[in-house]
A = this chain, B = another copy of it.
Amino acid sequence: MENITSIQNNRVKAWTKLQTKKGRQVSQTYLIDGWHLVQEAINHGGKLHAIMATQAQYDLHQAELPLGVPVFFIYDDIAKKLSDLVTPQGIFAEVSLPTANRAPQYIHDGAWLFLDAIQDPGNVGTMVRTADAAGFTGVVFGAGSVDPFAPKAIRAMQGSQFHVQIASGDLKEWITEFKRNEFVVYGTQLDPEAVDLFTIQPQTQFALVMGNEGQGMSTELAQMTSQNLYIPLAGHAESLNVGVAAGIAMFALRQR
């Protein structure tokens, strides 16, 4: 076990770079922050490369740490440097990004969430967490969507990235291949010309596309789906938060 005492330490500099997308792509790893996430990674097959812990956190969780993963002791100021929280817990792990995407033509079942240009890391994180809770198999990040492994997104996922598959790709290709594989692909729109979501029979194999916070789903994708759905809104509300809308749609469409 190595004691890291300086914020100028080379490893600290390398871990700090994981806060950026570029840094994560170079290393093919990302950081998780806090015991809950480290535990989820341990219990659900995350590949751990390093654990960084304050003495206090190490003492608390020592018995549950996996063998063969190097542990580094850090001080509070280093924990603050690694975290985007004001008061981080003081335990982190560096874990592998998921391995390369399965190509969509090899996906044959399950419910899948497609994200078209969703911008807010908190929103995408919440949607991955909800997809997990709704029994979805995977979430596909389309062009223009925020990186799934940004620290704020990871925090909102609460470990669900270890339970559902996370892929990135061109949604035009994913929609085409899914339809070839006899998935129904549902788009979502605010347009009441679309079909009322609550009239659809719940099922186990389909894809659901959620669109950008401001613009909704792109016209191009909306023309490719099997059917476009809307959530009927009462009152004077004009729209829903995209994370809430995704939650309502996923729980309404996925057969329990």
Contact = CB atoms under 8 A, between A and B. Distances in A.
Interface of A: 44, 126, 129-130, 132-136, 156, 158, 160, 162-164, 198, 231-241, 243-248, 251-252, 254, 256
A156 B256 CA distance: 31
A132 B236 contact: yes
Contact of A237 (B163, B246, B252): B163
Contacts of A252: 251
Most chain B CB neighbours (cut-off 10 Å) among A156, A162, A243, A244: A244
A160 B237 contact: yes
Residue among A132, A158, A162, A237 with the highest chain B CB neighbour number at 10 A: A237
A237 B126 contact: no
Contacts of A135: 234-235
A41 to B, nearest CB: 12
Contact of A247 (B136, B234, B247): B247
